[in-house]
Chains A and B, each alone.
Chain A
């Protein structure tokens, strides 16, 4: 429903915006000259068109439009797929989808094989003449088998009747299939089917386990037929399976053929027995001849026109099937781009872009579901608030050795088995957070973890990188001393460090924060250094003449002058950290957006994968927009000095 409304809205928005844009071009005179950069200014309406197109492409290629407008189509196409699969074996016997009869192609193939083998035997240097004569005779006899199968006169009545019976069954099915009330379902069958339909759920529905609240793998396309049309195909597929089995059990073996093939087999068998170990080559050739004979025995080879009626029956059914599909065929062609459900056969899965491109509606549903703190992902919410006692935070921040360095001893229990608390003991309780104060909300969850890692890595990088960078920009010793260290580790891709750092510092936050610290440190050092060394000499001279001390010049001239470079560096560092973090979370860890994506990948949860992609995009955008705001506020003079 929502998809339908949105699709219509997008259509109208696109048309409206295009009309508006065209009118604007005609009325606005500032646009007159090509090459004027002002022509690129503004244009919110084109932004709407652009985003609408993106959304429309997404809706279309994820088959959400098909799902929105024809929610039953997938289930019906799935039934069609079942029929196609059942009919496939029979169809291959005839020149319907192939160019020639299966019998014809098999005969040609075996004749060729025999010819090739004969040629080989004649030219062989390892066989003596006597062996060659015997083997050639075997080949000749095998070749004589084929006319025994293709001769109309030799075709047995029993086989003829069976072929007629199968043809009749197909014709009957075709006749029934065209009736509106086929497959004549009883009330009990109908109720059972409807119950099954209810249980299996709809196309692309998100199933949530009510116990744990976790998201289970979802069924792509429901199997049990929901509609009357679907039921028709389902029933026909079942019947066709039986008919097909019957046909492939049928063998065109008349008495002459049976005796002939028995003879060949036994002759070759006794010949092979008579050979000793030195004549292995002849034995192998004889074995290959038997193989061909057996292939002829089990192939469905019939006289040229014996199956004509059956072919007609199948073509008729095929036509009836196509007719019964009706508008479904158009839906399949136009609303299931880049693939279809029919291709998947009886397994009824989405084959094509609908498979890896989740439907916006499903993705949205899943996102809402995952956002619930009780569901989350792997028992951890995406982003939620936990009430934490302040004492825990104090205990985390204050180091425990504060208590150790106090004079005195920790309390010891007395003879009576009582522990009397003293001051030192109280301090220890305080610094370890072993007390109760009041609770404050603290965010946690996958998103928060990722965010915090980037934030901490960045903050440490800035706190150490900026002073060091400024120092290096101003001091020859600092530049020379730290340059080798930084230039050695900086060009290494951060991910190359990840395995080492994660194995040393652990898969928890420490390792990742340190990795991100390394990433941001080098960027901050380089940008702060560039800022410091780029200070105009005249400004420094002016500050000196105005009586500023070295410290004051650093604080009031060099630092603000390097701010543009530093802030640009932070922007670059945020991007780098963000990219590195996700990859690092791929490698190891139990929380974070990258972790979620990695797990989702293992279970083919395409919706979750796309949700993580969106979350990362949004968070990256948020970082960047915030920084851009900060930059505009703090260094309005940039590029104007």
Chain B
């Protein structure tokens, strides 16, 4: 059993003014090994909070969350993370960045170099090993971040809007890359996104979250990710089923936003 199980997860923040914000309320879900979950929702619905709790950066107010039956109480190597801006270490080269996790484990540099080269090839950065990271484009930086995370062989990969800052073309390429890696490695992945299309395309499962308090509003099981492994992603987008789902979710989120606006007025 290498599942991610969340039980009655609650997260309450206190603002500096003294108000309380219920970021997550009674979150219950189970994620099986090898599943790809995309999380979608308007801003303030607790997506990033959920990810940070899963990564172990913050502790939930109540409830618990376990991975492989072990309670998450801090950051760990078994949960890799990919950030929106890459969060690369710009004082290191590409291969040094990818090698970072292994170096922290004091592994033999000769052995690790081989591994680094392998991973650079997988993410399509062969020959860029000695390039300083600040010279890379946004998409390449995300590839480095992906390789840096995967080289540690984590059980769970957490992606916090990893493709949000990329242009449309690069984004599409990276979506294929994520699917490719998901298939080849069989990792469990949680991917947070703002884009409904991306959530539909990549998600084997999809949670639409609602804000105030942050909760899972609706859950979908989707076929498109498996299709994406074989077909061109653009073809899937033309799929009628895909369009219907997209419209449905978009309307759902619109309604949520309107509700918030109404509340505030």
Contact = CB atoms under 8 A, between A and B. Distances in A.
Interface string B52-79: 0001110000000000000000011101
B9 interface: no
Given A539-B89, A541-B55, A546 B83 contact: no
Contacts of A8: none
A580 B154 CA distance: 55
A549 B74 CA distance: 12
A545 B55 contact: yes
Contacts of B56: 544
A540 to B, nearest CB: 9
A548 interface: yes
B140 to A, nearest CB: 14
A77 interface: no
A304 interface: no
Contacts of B148: 542, 546
Contacts of B133: 637
Interface string B80-95: 1101110101110000
A547 B91 contact: no
A640 B134 contact: yes
Contacts of B77: 545-547
A552 interface: yes
B104 A542 contact: no
A557 interface: yes
A543 interface: yes
A339 interface: no
Contact of A563 (B80, B91, B103): B91
Contacts of A539: 87, 89
B132 A545 contact: no
A545 B81 contact: yes
B90 A547 contact: no
Q: Contact size class for A?
A: 20 to 34
Contacts of A536: 87
B100 interface: yes
Contacts of A326: none
Contact of A547 (B89, B104, B132): B104
Nearest to A536: B87
B113 interface: no
Contacts of A543: 89, 100, 104
A544 B101 CA distance: 9
A545 B75 contact: yes
Interface string A102-130: 00000000000000000000000000000
A598 to B, nearest CB: 45
Nearest to A544: B75
B105 interface: yes
Contacts of B80: 545-546
Interface string A551-588: 01000110011010000000000000000000000000
A408 interface: no
Interface of B: 55-57, 75-77, 79-81, 83-85, 87, 89-91, 100-101, 103-105, 132-134, 145, 148-149, 152
Given A542-B81, A545-B75, A546-B104, 11 more contacts: A541-B75, A545-B149, A546-B149, A547-B76, A547-B101, A548-B104, A561-B89, A636-B134, A637-B91, A637-B132, A637-B134
Interface of A: 536, 538-539, 541-549, 552, 556-557, 560-561, 563, 635-637, 640-641
17 contacts: A541-B83, A542-B87, A543-B100, A544-B56, A544-B57, A545-B77, A545-B81, A545-B149, A546-B80, A546-B100, A546-B101, A546-B148, A546-B152, A547-B101, A552-B104, A563-B91, A636-B134
The list of the 9 closest CB pairs from A to B, nearest first, reads A544-B75, A547-B77, A538-B87, A546-B101, A640-B134, A637-B90, A641-B90, A560-B91, A545-B81
